[in-house]
Amino acid sequence: MLRAVALAASLAAIVGCFSPVIEPAPSRYHNPLDVLDGGPPPDGGSGPTDGGLDGGPVGPNGSMGSVDGRGFDLVSSSYQVVTPDGGPAYTLVFLADAPGLCGLLQDGGVPPPWNMLRLHLAGAQLGSYPVAPALPPSGAIAEFDWEDGDGGSFGIETAQSGSVTLLAVDPNDQQSAAGRYEVDFADAGSLAGHFTASPCAAVPAQAGE
């Protein structure tokens, strides 16, 4: 009897060794730039409620934060790579809450009210550019401008710190540029977001030029 019990226990142990092994589900790959094209965010979410790049808004352009108590969404963007005679190329990026920004600039300007973030990068290479009040040799400056619809109220704020990361750019101004930014305006506020900017030959004057 004892031998039969021992034999049964041995058979149970052997059968256990052949139990099916449950393999972990394969992880899904997401291109980290998908969110810049309005695709799935890198955290595997399925929509705006799940957050976008670094937890920010989903879509080609998006912004969070406020400056001078003004909240807005920078939905329109343009850029230009400038190559001055005898000097290194630099990149200008313009983000505004006015749809069709480039067309408005070509047609004489953006009618108020509007809010605009201007980024001046001291280069046209991919990478991170630290933000400072005065343009560093390999950094960037950020200026926030706004104008109300009454024709009289306007303002300008210069970022004190932060960074702008250029993820895509075309020195020939033919393809879209893409990137993200985090800029701090000290007591005035801060902005963070991402952009996919189209090339535009008509650009407003940029601080630091």
Each residue's pLDDT, cut to its tens digit, for the chain (209 residues) gives 434 444 444 434 444 444 343 343 333 323 333 433 333 333 332 223 233 444 455 578 889 999 999 988 898 999 999 998 878 999 999 999 998 988 888 887 888 999 999 999 999 999 999 999 999 999 999 999 999 887 678 899 999 999 999 999 999 989 999 999 999 999 999 999 999 999 998 665 544 34
Instruction: Give Cα 153 distance to the centre of its chain.
Output: 29
CA distances, 103 to each of 84, 100, 108, 112, 185 (Å): 24, 6, 9, 15, 29
pLDDT at 24: 36
pTM equals: 0.70
pLDDT at 109: 83
Cβ 131 vs Cβ 167: under 8 Å: no
Separation between Cα atoms, residue 169 and residue 123, nearest integer Å: 11
pLDDT at 8: 45
pLDDT at 60: 86
> Which residues is 92 bridged to in the sheet?
80, 120
Q: What is the dihedral of CA 40, 54, 75, 153, to 10 degrees?
A: 170
